C-alpha cells in the first residue's frame, strides 16, 4: 500500500480559514478507496492538540526557541500527527495572525518548524510507519523538500507540492537564513531567493519532485505573467512536472435537504425571511465569500443594478476589505432587495446554498473554488468568471450548452464589470423560463463534484513518483 504524509497548515474539522482545510480533510478518506494510506501532519494549535493529546508522543528536542513533540492521534479513520510546540502554536488570534489582525512576525519560524518536522518524519519514520511520498500543501510546507535534501533522504522519499493559491508565497527576510537552517547555496535566483527574500513556496517548487495545482485551467494560467505572480518563469521551466487536478467536495457532508425545485422552494422562502427580504418574482442570488478584489466583489457592486432591475435579489455573507464591507452595508441600507451579513457562519452558508436560486462567484482568479461546487450540488446555479477551476467545473449556458441540454450555470469573460452586468441580465432572462431553469438545476445537481476521479488521479501521481520498489 502506498504511504503518503499530507502536510498542511489547516484541516477540517479541526481548523479552517479557507478551501485548503477542506481539501486536507477530505483527501485521506477519498484516497483510502484507491489503496493509499494517507496520514496528516498539522501544527499543534489548541484545537489540534485537543484531538491528539494523550496519544503516543516523540520528543523532538528544541525547535525554533522551545521544546517540541510529535504526538500521534486520530482524525476519524486516519492517523493524525500533531507538532506540539506551544511556543509556536498555542496562541490567541487566528492560526496566521494575532488578535490585531497582523500576521505573526515569527510565521517563517512557525511553518519552517512544520516543514522540518515533515522532512524528519519522512527521513526517519516512526516505529512502524514511513511515508513513500510527502504531499506538501502551499508555502507553509514549502521548505520541507529543502530540509529533506539536507538530510540526504531524497533518494527514498518523493515530494509533491500542491499550489492552492500562488499569491501566498511565504516570504521571509534573507537575514533569517541561518535561523531557519537553510543552506546558503540555495539562496540564488535558481533556488529559493525571490527579489532578495526567502520564498518558502518557491523553495518547494524548485526542490520538489513534482508540482500540481487544483485545476487544469489554473495550471495553464500559472505559466503566464498575468497569473504566475512572478513565479511563471520557474513554473514554465518545470512545466513537465506540473499538472492540474480538480478539487472535489465531500458529497455526503454536502447533501441538499431536497431533491428538486419544489423541495427547494420552501428553503428559498425561509432564506428570504431570515434575511428580511420581501417576496419577489425574480431569482434570489447569494454570495458567500471573502470580500476582496480577487473575488471580484468590487465589480459586483457596479453590476448589481442589472440584477435588481431585472427583479432579482441579493443575500450576501462575507467579510474582508473594510471598504467593501461598508459599501455592501450601505447598499443594503438603501435597497430593500439587498441584505448583508458581515462575518462567516457555516450553518448560515448552508442555509443560503439551500435557499438561493443562484450563487455568484465573479473572481478575477480562482485556483479551483469550492463555492461553485457546493452550488452545483445544491442546484443553486453558479454564475462564475471564466478562470481557473470555475472554467473547469461549470458548463456555460451558451447556445451550444443550452442546445445540448447540458448547461449547469453561467460564465462570463473577459472578467470585468461590463461582462458581469451582461451575465446578470442573462441570468434573469433564463430564470423567467421556468422549465429551462429547472432543467439546468437538474443538470447541476447531477453533475459529479465528488472526489472519486481526482483521488484516482492523485493515487496515480503518487505511484509515478514513488522511489521505493
Q: Are strands 133-137 and 2-7 parallel, antiparallel or unpaired?
A: parallel
d(CA 75, CA 166) in angstroms, rounded, equals 28
Phi-psi region at 242: left, alpha or beta (left = phi > 0; alpha = psi -120 to 50): beta
User: What SS3 state is found at 112?
Assistant: helix
SS3 of residue 218 by DSSP: helix
Rounded CA gap, 214 and 388, in Å? Answer: 9
Domain boundaries, given as residue ranges, for the chain: 2-248+452-465, 261-446
The answer to whether 109 touches 64, Cβ cutoff 8 Å, is: yes
Identical fold for domains 2-248+452-465 and 261-446, yes or no, is yes
Give pLDDT < 70 ranges for the chain: 469
Preceding omega of 170 cis (within 30 degrees of 0) = no
Segment 338-371, tens digit of pLDDT: 999 999 898 999 999 999 999 999 999 999 999 9
**Residue-wise pLDDT tens digits, 66-111:** 999 999 999 989 999 999 999 999 999 999 999 998 999 999 999 9
pTM over 0.85: yes
Name the CATH superfamily housing domain 261-446: Glycogen Phosphorylase B; (3.40.50.2000)
Cell 520541507 sits on residue: 144
Cα within 13 Å of Cα(76), Cβ side: 17
pLDDT of residue 170: 98
**Residue 231: its pLDDT value, please?**
97
Q: What is the model's pLDDT at position 469?
A: 56
DSSP 329: H
Binding-site annotation: residue ranges for ADP-alpha-D-glucose: 16
- pLDDT for 127 equals 83
Tell me the binding residues. Answer: 16
Taking residue 95's Cβ as centre, other Cβ atoms within 10 Å add up to 21
DSSP 3-state of 369: coil
The set of cell numbers assigned to 225 is: 505573467
Instruction: Give the architecture-level CATH label for domain 2-248+452-465.
Output: 3-Layer(aba) Sandwich (3.40)
- Residues 452/251, Cβ–Cβ less than 8 Å: no
Hey, which bits of 224-376 come out as E strands?
242-244, 284-291, 313-320, 338-342, 358-361
Amino acid at each position: 500500500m502506498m504511504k503518503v504524509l499530507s502536510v498542511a497548515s489547516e484541516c477540517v474539522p479541526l481548523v479552517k480559514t479557507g478551501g485548503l482545510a477542506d481539501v486536507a480533510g477530505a483527501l485521506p478518506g477519498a484516497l483510502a478507496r484507491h489503496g493509499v494510506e494517507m496520514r496528516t501532519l498539522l501544527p499543534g494549535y489548541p484545537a489540534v492538540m485537543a484531538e491528539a493529546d494523550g496519544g503516543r508522543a516523540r520528543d523532538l528536542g528544541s525547535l525554533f526557541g522551545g521544546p517540541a513533540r510529535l504526538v500521534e492521534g486520530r482524525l476519524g479513520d486516519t492517523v493524525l500527527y500533531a507538532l506540539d510546540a506551544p511556543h509556536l502554536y498555542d496562541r490567541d488570534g487566528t492560526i496566521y495572525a494575532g488578535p490585531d489582525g497582523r500576521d505573526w512576525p515569527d510565521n517563517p519560524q512557525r511553518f519552517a518548524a512544520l516543514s522540518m518536522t515533515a522532512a524528519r518524519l519522512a527521513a526517519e519514520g516512526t516505529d512502524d510507519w514511513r511515508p513513500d511520498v510527502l504531499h506538501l500543501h502551499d508555502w507553509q510546507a514549502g521548505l520541507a523538500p529543502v530540509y529533506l535534501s539536507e538530510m540526504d533522504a531524497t533518494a527514498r522519499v518523493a515530494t509533491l507540492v500542491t499550489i492552492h493559491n500562488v499569491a501566498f508565497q511565504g516570504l521571509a527576510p534573507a537575514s533569517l537564513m541561518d535561523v531557519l537552517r537553510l543552506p546558503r547555496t540555495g539562496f540564488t535566483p535558481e533556488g529559493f531567493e525571490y527579489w532578495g527574500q526567502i520564498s518558502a513556496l518557491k523553495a518547494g517548487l524548485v526542490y520538489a519532485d513534482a508540482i500540481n495545482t487544483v485545476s487544469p485551467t489554473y495550471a495553464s494560467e500559472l505559466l503566464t505573467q498575468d497569473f504566475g505572480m512572478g513565479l511563471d518563469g520557474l513554473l514554465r521551466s518545470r512545466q513537465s512536472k506540473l499538472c492540474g487536478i480538480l478539487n472535489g467536495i465531500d458529497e455526503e457532508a454536502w447533501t441538499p435537504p431536497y431533491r428538486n425545485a419544489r423541495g427547494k422552494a420552501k428553503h428559498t422562502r425561509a432564506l428570504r425571511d431570515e434575511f428580511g427580504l420581501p417576496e419577489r418574482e425574480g431569482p434570489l442570488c447569494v454570495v458567500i465569500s471573502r470580500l476582496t478584489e480577487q473575488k471580484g466583489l468590487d465589480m459586483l457592486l457596479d453590476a448589481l443594478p442589472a440584477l435588481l432591475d431585472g427583479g432579482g435579489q441579493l443575500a450576501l455573507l462575507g467579510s474582508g476589505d473594510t471598504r467593501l464591507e461598508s459599501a455592501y452595508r450601505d447598499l443594503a441600507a438603501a435597497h430593500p432587495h439587498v441584505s448583508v451579513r458581515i462575518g462567516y457562519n457555516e450553518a448560515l452558508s448552508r442555509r443560503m446554498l439551500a435557499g438561493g436560486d443562484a450563487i455568484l462567484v465573479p473572481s478575477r482568479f480562482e485556483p479551483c473554488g469550492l463555492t461553485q461546487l457546493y452550488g452545483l450540488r445544491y442546484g443553486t446555479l453558479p454564475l462564475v468568471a471564466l478562470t481557473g477551476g470555475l472554467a473547469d467545473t461549470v458548463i456555460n449556458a451558451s447556445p451550444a450548452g443550452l442546445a445540448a441540454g447540458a448547461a449547469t450555470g453561467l460564465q462570463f469573460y473577459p472578467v470585468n464589470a461590463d461582462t458581469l452586468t451582461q451575465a446578470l441580465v442573462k441570468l434573469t432572462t433564463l430564470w423567467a423560463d421556468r422549465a429551462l431553469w429547472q432543467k439546468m438545476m437538474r443538470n447541476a445537481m447531477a453533475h459529479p463534484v465528488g472526489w472519486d476521479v481526482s483521488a484516482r488521479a492523485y493515487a496515480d501521481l503518487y505511484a509515478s513518483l514513488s522511489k521505493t520498489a
